[in-house]
Amino acid sequence: MQFNILPGGAMSGEARVPGDKSISHRSIMLGAIANGATRVKGFLEGEDAMATLAAFRAMGVEIEGPNHGNVTIHGVGLRGLRVPAEALDLGNAGTGMRLICGLLAGQDFDAELTGDASLCSRPMGRVIDPLTMMGANIQSASGGRPPLIIRGGQQLRSIHYELPMASAQVKSCVLLAGLYSEGRTSVREPGPSRDHTERMLRGFGYSVQSNQDAIALVGGGSLKGCDIDVPADISSAAFFLVAASIAPDSELMLTHVGINPTRIGVINVLRLMGANITFHNKREVGGEPVADLHVRSAQLKGIDIPVDQVPLAIDEFPALFIAAACAVGRTILRGAEELRVKESDRIAAMAEGLSTLGITNEVLEDGIIIEGGTFGGGVIKTYHDHRIAMSFAIAALRATGEITVLDCDHVATSFPGFDSLARSLGLQIHTAAS
């Protein structure tokens, strides 16, 4: 599938984007190992979260739905998962694979984790290393890549782990393995990363201690099923925050968006660039802060992106690169090496697309320099990365020619219905067979 987008247009209206992918993943995992039923509203019915759901069904967990975002998980307790009949296929879900590694490390059965070509090219050493320190037995393909075979029956040890970089996936993996270890497992991170796992564990009644930059729990407890209301995903909202900022005469209201302080780097960066974004009806739902986001078009300016905002906006940088290309002056990003090991090398893929559309940029080892300019038309390669596809789709709002975005099938991993919602809000987007 490809997107064909005509140039120009304005964004207007009100919308609720799909549920948060990170929270959807975790709701299935923790609901599965809890005692009793967990009822989830707003579950993201995208391919990544559905792959996680299918994996736990394959391990014997009864799950009803999803039905219009409603899911009921009948938890089996910490020790109730069963050996799957075949390899667990996580598709394109890196979050799903890395977090499930932590849970599987403490089971008494062997399991294999695999995924699509993109996922099987992504490094898993960052979770294999600390799990091995805890006593896990994990075999991988060359370079620490999937498929992974996790041997059961290992007695896990609690550890204190110093994260080499801020990573919610690694932190969460270690904490989930810590549920199955003896004693106190703690993680210290060099900077903030999303804290959905800690918040949700507490929501399930599990004690998690946090002080300064260390997070700790004691293994051997239990989780109690609960109700979860998944906020709209700020990573999905980011495309429309940028779209309404760069397109003249635009005004959007995005409702029920998660504004967890570890996730709002995209808003912080856009505001530093001059974006007009305001919060309305701020509230807390199931332990997660949410708000309605009102955004109006604004003249953006180039900035040096603060390093402390990088981990808070790591998934939103493809969209922010489009904002930078529409800004007056130069935008500089550093400290974002993590972008090179996402679904694609997002620095290289975005730089190539920006160049195709006539935007001057310079690739750095850990970031990029983007000179604000004018988009032309062109054909964009996405390297099967959903965020690359959606980012260049919204670029058409400020383009002088039609933009064709190839290989957009993976958009459904995080944002099913992106094209139809974008079209209803003013983007002149149409889909066609590749």
Confirm if 429 and 1 have CB atoms less than 8 A apart.
Answer: no
Annotated catalytic residue 345: no
Q: At what angle do helices 94-104 and 47-58 cross, to 10 degrees?
A: 20
Report the C-alpha gap between 422 and 5 in whole angstroms.
11
Alpha carbons 388 and 353: distance in angstroms, whole number: 9
Concatenate the DSSP letters of all residues of 167-210 into one string: -HHHHHHHHHHHTTSBSEEEEE-SS----HHHHHHHHTT---EE
Q: At what angle do helices 125-133 and 94-104 cross, to 10 degrees?
A: 10
For 222, other C-beta atoms within 10 Å of its C-beta total: 15
- Burial class (CB within 10 angstroms; exposed 0-12, middle 13-18, buried 19+) of 42: buried
Q: Classify the C-alpha dihedral 191-193-195-197 as positive or negative.
A: negative
Residues in the chain: 434
CA distance 432 to 426: 19
CA distances to 155, 244, 258, 333, 416 from 21, rounded to whole Å, are: 31, 23, 11, 25, 12
Which residue among the candidates 292, 315, 385, 419 is catalytic per the annotation? 315
The catalytic residues are 315
